[in-house]
Amino acid sequence: MTHDFVRPLTLTLGHLYPDQLNLYGDRGNIMTLQYRCQMRGIQFRAVGLGIGDALAPDEYDMLFIGGGQDKEQAPVAQDLYELKAIGLWAAIEDDMPVLAVCGGYQLLAHYYRPAEGPDMRGLGVFDAWTIHKGPRSPRCIGNIALSWNGSTLVGFENHGGRTYLGTAKPLGKVLKGSGNNAEDRTEGAIYRNAYGTYLHGSLLPKNPHFADHLIYLALKRKYGEEYLLAMAGQTEPSETADHAAQGLHQNGTVALAAEKKTENSLKPSDILTPLDDKLEWEAHAYILERLGLHSAALTALSAYKK
């Protein structure tokens, strides 16, 4: 059920450095977000932001930055720090969802020290740093699984650098694989709604629950809980919700009502129509099985079947 005041939902994603940072199927993450939005009638648009392009945070609802080789990261690091830093920081502090993979993850931490050459200065979004211990040090490569939010995430990692966390909260705990550094069983980092990870382009295709989490965060930030619940037919429209829907801030977010629900009261499943994710969860479970995590594989499949 929908109401007359409900307008079509729209999301715009800013894709940072699509030509430089595009290893290991990272574009698959954007394709997954686009597909899952379109299947629900959410208008989705991805805009590339290359070297020399300014980042105006009020033009986007989500941001993505992928991974690349060291030689490609150097000019990106300079552009990110000199041109896009202010806009990116403003977006993150305003709780815009950001997904940063591998090289992108490293550049959102304090610095990356490559095997050769000077340090690459990062933005310090994540209280973390990365050190490549040299060509003789084994790479962290292969399938990986980690615990996340009461569930599991699976993916593929391939990185030579070792990332160490300061006060940053990890994305998850490594069940099998290397993760941040192959030492402390941490993987990724979180700051507000920004997520850094070494899991490449199989991340969102094989983890539909995490893809929906990012979509949910973007919608919640832009439209507010009351409007989304009314859109989903779970509440009757109110004057407050109507005003919120019409009164978008300049940065695309809405002023939420004082009586809005608590942050933990709304889940992605409350506002996002379920999709047929049978193949996605079978692929997810297959990786868990290959890693010897048989119990986790059964749990993943049973969770989907519910």
Contact status, residue 75 vs residue 51, Cβ threshold 8 Å: yes
Active site residue 243: no
The residue from 159, 200, 213, 284 that is catalytic is 200
CA angle 212, 293, 208 (to 5 degrees): 10
Active site residue 132: no
| E strand residue ranges, 134-242 | 140-148, 151-159, 161-165, 172-176, 186-187, 189-191, 194-197
Q: Alpha-carbon Rg of the chain, whole angstroms? A: 19
45 assigned ligand-binding residue: no
What are the tokens at 297? 């594989």
The residue from 102, 132, 140, 159 that is catalytic is 102
Q: Coil, strand, or helix at residue 240?
A: helix
Contact status, residue 65 vs residue 91, Cβ threshold 8 Å: no
C-beta atoms surrounding 219 within 10 Å: 25
Contact status, residue 56 vs residue 84, Cβ threshold 8 Å: no
C-beta atoms surrounding 200 within 10 Å: 22
Binding-site residues sit at 139
Binding-site residues for substrate sit at 139
Active site residues: 102, 200
